[in-house]
Every structure is written in structure tokens, then in C-alpha cells.
Amino acid sequence: MANNPETQHKILTITCPDGPGIVAAVTGMLSANGANITEAAQYGDPDTGRFFQRIVFTPGPGIAREAGFAAAFAPVAERFGMDWTLHDEGARAKAVIAVSKIGHCLADLLHRQHSGDSAIDICAVVSNHEDMRGLVEWHGIPYHYLPVTAETKPRQEEKILAVIEEAGAELLVLARYMQILTAPTGEKLAGRCINIHHAFLPGFKGARPYHRAHERGVKLIGATAHYVTPDLDEGPIIEQAVERVDHTHTPADLIAVGRDIECAVLARAVRWHAERRVLLNGIKTAVFR
């Protein structure tokens, strides 16, 4: 049975220049059209002068469908110069996962979907290696082997973009995909491509970061999930976490701890993106957890 649009919760997200009267105007419009607000969060950033809001509501009859909502909301949006989106609360975001040879983050996302604990629908997996094919196809998900060299990278990324478009996916998740996306691809996927990396950057860039961290006797290790931009590992941060370690930890121990953190951090970032909790704020984000 199809969902009744008048009882389906909606998620409204708003970004605009900050100023007085925004919350009153938005909530007043919703109330005037019979909506019932069940969750609301907002933030005015004093540094950027931008306002961010996320509202979950049950719509009234006149604004239950997107066209009706857009017509009713247009005067408010125009008055405050708003960029806004409207989504069904329960709709799972379609995603494509990119992976290389290291599969812990991929396996975690697949398990979450298999167990029903996921806010995304994994439509396909792309990889420059064959290593993860068996795991992915066991889950009944298409696996696209797209080998790459420095010379073929632009054409290979065109194929990745084609997979995303064919799947109707809104999100590309780099689950330890050990290739740097070219600037044109990064620009095309702005705000809808999430990467995970160890939180040693920029102190331990390059190969074998956990071994180098062990040599330096680090006391904290962690992970960072961020949106991809043409600037390597400089995209807006969505989520981070750290774990305390000590002198008794071997490089293998650090790798194990780091992989657990990477899985958790990436899963949270992907969920928050899919639940429309992450709003871009220049080179950073506002996250309504």
C-alpha cells in the first residue's frame, strides 16, 4: 500500500543569510497550512552570517505534495533568499560505494544494509580491484571492476559517474577507495561524495601511516569523514572520532583500532547525510545530530 502523502513525515532543510524573523516565518507558514512540526533544529553561524535549519513535520492537505508545498513556501523562501530541500523522512538515499583492496568499511556498510540498520540503499559497488567481488555479489549487489592507471583515470571516472547516473544514486561513498578523484569529478560530486581517512592527516600522509604513528609514539588515533573537494583531504568535515592508545600497542593493534573507528565514523556520516542532517557551510558543515 502506498504511503499517504498527508501522513508521511517530511524533512525541510534551509540555508540562507541569517537575520531576524526566519524561524517565525517558516513555522508560521507550516502552521497556517495545517502542518504539525515533530522535530526542529536551527543554527545561525556568527562567522559566516549564514542560517541553517532542519524541520521534520507532518504536512496538511494543501502542502502534502511537493508542488503544493513549493507554491506555499515560495514567498517565504524569496523573502529570505533561501536555498531549501524537501524530502520524505523514511526515504533511503541511493548510494554507490567505491572500494579498493581494504574492505572493512565496505563490509560494515553492507552488513548494516543486510540487517536493516541503514539509511542508504547500496545500488552498486565500483572498484579498481577484484578483491571485494565475492563479498558484494553475496549481498546481491552489482560489482563493477574498473581498473585504472594514471593515463586512464579520466575515462575510468567517467565510467564511475555513469554507474552513479544509471543507478539513480545521489551519493558516492569512498570506503577506503585508494585513488584520488580528479578535480572535474570532485566538482561534479560536490556535496554528495563522502570519504573516510585516518585522522593522522596531515601529520602522517602517504603510505603506512599506522607504522609511522607507532614510530612516533602517538597517544590518540582516529578517523575523519568529510565531503570530497578538488583539494585533497581538505573537504568539509562531517564526523570525527578518536581512541586512546599507548606504548603497548603494536602497529597491528593500531590498525585494528583504526579500522573500527573508520567504520563507525563513516557509517555515522553516511547516515546523517541520508537523513538530511548535514548542511554545507562554506568549507565546513552544520550537522544536526
Residue 1 within any structural domain of the chain: no
The whole-number pLDDT of residue 3 equals 57
CA distances to 31, 275, 285 from 10, in Å? 14, 11, 22
Q: How many domains does the chain have?
A: 2
Residue 108 bears catalytic tag: no
Tell me what the pLDDT averaged over the chain comes to: 93
Asked if 212 and 238 sit in the same domain, the reply is: yes
Q: Tell me which residue range forms the domain holding 248.
A: 93-287
Asked if 283 and 146 sit in the same domain, the reply is: yes
Asked if 154 and 78 sit in the same domain, the reply is: no
Phi-psi region of 134 (alpha: psi -120 to 50; beta: other; left: phi over 0): alpha
The whole-number pLDDT of residue 207 equals 75
Grid coordinates belonging to 209: 601511516
Q: Which range (32-46, 84-98, 162-176, 195-209) has the least confidence? A: 195-209
The whole-number pLDDT of residue 203 equals 64
At residue 98, does pLDDT exceed 50?
yes
Asked if 20 and 108 sit in the same domain, the reply is: no
CATH number at residue 230: 3.40.50.170
Question: Which residue type, as a one-letter code, is found at position 186?
Answer: G
CATH number at residue 74: 3.30.70.260
* Percent of the chain residues past pLDDT 90, beyond the cut: 84
Please write the tens of the pLDDT for every residue from 139-187.
999 999 999 999 999 999 999 999 999 999 999 999 999 999 999 999 9
The whole-number pLDDT of residue 215 equals 82
Q: Are 62 and 35 in contact (CB under 8 A)?
A: no
How far apart, in whole angstroms, are the C-alpha atoms of residue 187 and residue 190? Answer: 5
Asked if 101 and 237 sit in the same domain, the reply is: yes
pLDDT band at 66 (very low <50, low <70, confident <90, very high): very high
- Only one residue has cell 515560495, namely 74
At residue 202, does pLDDT exceed 60?
no
From the candidates 45, 121, 233, 253, which is the catalytic residue? 233
Asked if 243 and 258 sit in the same domain, the reply is: yes
Asked if 168 and 238 sit in the same domain, the reply is: yes
Asked if 151 and 17 sit in the same domain, the reply is: no
- What is the rounded average pLDDT of the residues 120-144? 98
Asked if 141 and 22 sit in the same domain, the reply is: no
Please write the tens of the pLDDT for every residue from 207-265.
788 888 888 788 888 899 999 998 767 889 999 999 999 999 999 999 999 999 999 99
Q: Where among 47, 65, 88 does a domain terminate?
A: 88
Question: Which residue type, as a one-letter code, is found at position 81?
Answer: G
Q: Are 76 and 14 in contact (CB under 8 A)?
A: no
Asked if 61 and 130 sit in the same domain, the reply is: no
Residue 3 within any structural domain of the chain: no
At residue 2, does pLDDT exceed 60?
no
- Neighbouring CB atoms inside 10 A of 70's CB total 13
Asked if 192 and 129 sit in the same domain, the reply is: yes
Question: Which residue type, as a one-letter code, is found at position 145?
Answer: Y
What global pTM score does this model have? 0.92
DSSP-derived 3-state class of residue 199: coil
Q: Are 225 and 268 in contact (CB under 8 A)?
A: yes
Residue 49 within any structural domain of the chain: yes
Asked if 267 and 252 sit in the same domain, the reply is: yes
Grid coordinates belonging to 162: 555513469
The whole-number pLDDT of residue 1 equals 39
